[in-house]
Structure 1
Amino acid sequence: MKWILFDKDGTLIHFDRSWMKIGLQLVDDFMIQYESAIGDVTEAYKRLGIVNNEIQQGTVMASGSLDEIINAFDNLAGQDVSSWAQQRSQTLVDQRVPENVWVEGVDQTVKALHQQGYKLGIVTSDTKKGVEQFLTDTNMHKYFDVVISTEANAVEKPNPEVLKPLFDNYDVDSIDVMIVGDTANDIKTGKNAQLGLSVAVLTGVDIKETFTEADYILPTANQVLDILN
């Protein structure tokens, strides 16, 4: 391996509770906006994976892409709600105050990998603003050679095109790239892009049973060093 790409939330840092707050608020707003079309609101919350005002692991609201969430909304409302959902989601994201708390030891793992000569990158569904805040708050700019965000690069995981900024700007073969993430979409990104290794970690929003395509399933990103060594 020459390159290691990390998801951010749930992989490098503990899944940011501010994202959960956004998800819950988006669903609440959806229920109000389309109440007459939804019918049984209590059942609708359950179908989206929300129980007792908590987003459950392995559900569309926990780890689905925005497109997948909108598709779930469409099914519940019986109509196309994409325009409303995209606008409301962007407003909530713009208002978000991020929380950046490292998964224990992962900051040191990143520094060790950098010292050993690996090229490192971030591939996140966060906005460009959000990932810049993370890098500034943690003083980690110098450790990451490429940063890819959904908003800035206009493609979502698991579409392999999300990795275009890496392959367009660096001379690297896909077989020499590892991706590390906490969702099935992270793993699917690696498989769709034919990366050398797709590694799942259990520090985020998806459960072990969803990682059927992962080459390795690790407790945390710290164990990446064991794989490489």
Structure 2
Amino acid sequence: MTTVDLSTIKGVIFDKDGTLIDFHQSWTSIGLDLAMAAAVNDEERAEELMVLAGYDSQSKRFRPDSVFAAGTNAELIDLWFPTYTQSAKLEILSGVERIISRIAAERAVPVPQCRDVLQFLFNQSMKLAVVTNDSTKGAEETLSALGISQFFTACFGYDAVANPKPAIDPVIAFCDTTGLSPRQIAVIGDNHHDILMGKRAGVALTVGVLTGTGTRQTLREADLLLDSIADFTCLFETQPVS
């Protein structure tokens, strides 16, 4: 495992889906429900929408960095309804987020050792945040349902900042909230846009994890590549937080 200097890291930004949450167990069925609703229960059209959003029917997984894997809810609606007016898209978006709010929290499956990792970092007085391209409300409800919301200082969805991932706005918002500088922060995620956000913001460490849709190839720019967030805490065993 790569050795890094962790002594200056005082905060960690986590992506949600694919990093804290098992993406495929949690979101494939949600994607199918959304596609069916968007297709007005036309199964053939729903399948087309799933493919358009990045679903590979052979592997039954979403492609790395596809719209469904990495985009915002608004980007998904733009993709599925390109000819609709903005007001119509906003109405559909509102309906989609109501569906997600209703079912995402109850279907969320945490990655192995998720709570243990968060508890460990919290006990080290780390400031923790979730940065996701899900809605802020949806993300907060999922964290609460999993019983892990108390570990986080902040949660930023795509609608909490002017420009979501891969823009640096969520990192700056976390810095403003905590008083930390980017050079005191690690960013952990399963998609390239997580790594790109961290790199652009100049964070101390970017970490790719293989528990979501990302691959070794798509996460190659990360400073570290780990199997899961469980491996991140192992780095502190020989370099305790000061």
Same fold by TM-score greater than 0.5: yes
2:178 aligned partner: 170
TM-score by length of 1: 0.79
Q: Is the 8 A contact 1:148 1:163 kept in 2?
A: no
2:116 aligned partner: 108
Equivalent position to 2:97, from 70, 93, 101: 93
1:157 aligned partner: 165
SS at match of 1:210: coil
Change (3 A) 1:163 1:73: same
Q: Give the deviation of 1:141 after TM superposition.
A: 2.9
TM-score by length of 2: 0.75
Q: Is the 8 A contact 1:181 1:200 kept in 2?
A: yes
The answer to whether structure 1 residue 63 and structure 2 residue 79 are counterparts is no
Select the structure that is richer in helix: 1
Equivalent position to 2:21, from 13, 25, 30: 13
Whole-Å separation in 1 of the counterparts to 2:93 and 2:25: 16
Q: Is the 8 A contact 1:199 1:217 kept in 2?
A: yes
The gaps in structure 2 that reach 5 residues or longer are 1-8, 41-45
Q: Give the deviation of 1:111 after TM superposition.
A: 0.4
Q: Give the deviation of 1:113 after TM superposition.
A: 1.1
The answer to whether structure 1 residue 50 and structure 2 residue 50 are counterparts is no
SS at match of 1:214: coil
Whole-Å separation in 2 of the counterparts to 1:197 and 1:90: 36
Change (3 A) 1:207 1:109: same
For residues 15-34 of structure 1, the aligned pairs below 5 Å read 15=23, 17=25, 19-24=27-32
The one-character-per-residue Cα deviations of 1:115-165 (angstroms, maximum 9, x if unpaired) are 122221111222222222223223323311222122233531111012232
1:37 aligned partner: none
Equivalent position to 2:211, from 203, 207, 222: 203
The gaps in structure 1 that reach 5 residues or longer are 33-40
The answer to whether structure 1 residue 117 and structure 2 residue 125 are counterparts is yes
Q: Give the deviation of 1:205 after TM superposition.
A: 1.6
Q: Is the 8 A contact 2:11 2:126 kept in 1?
A: yes
Identical-residue share of aligned pairs (%): 27
Change (3 A) 1:49 1:141: closer
RMSD between aligned residues: 3.1
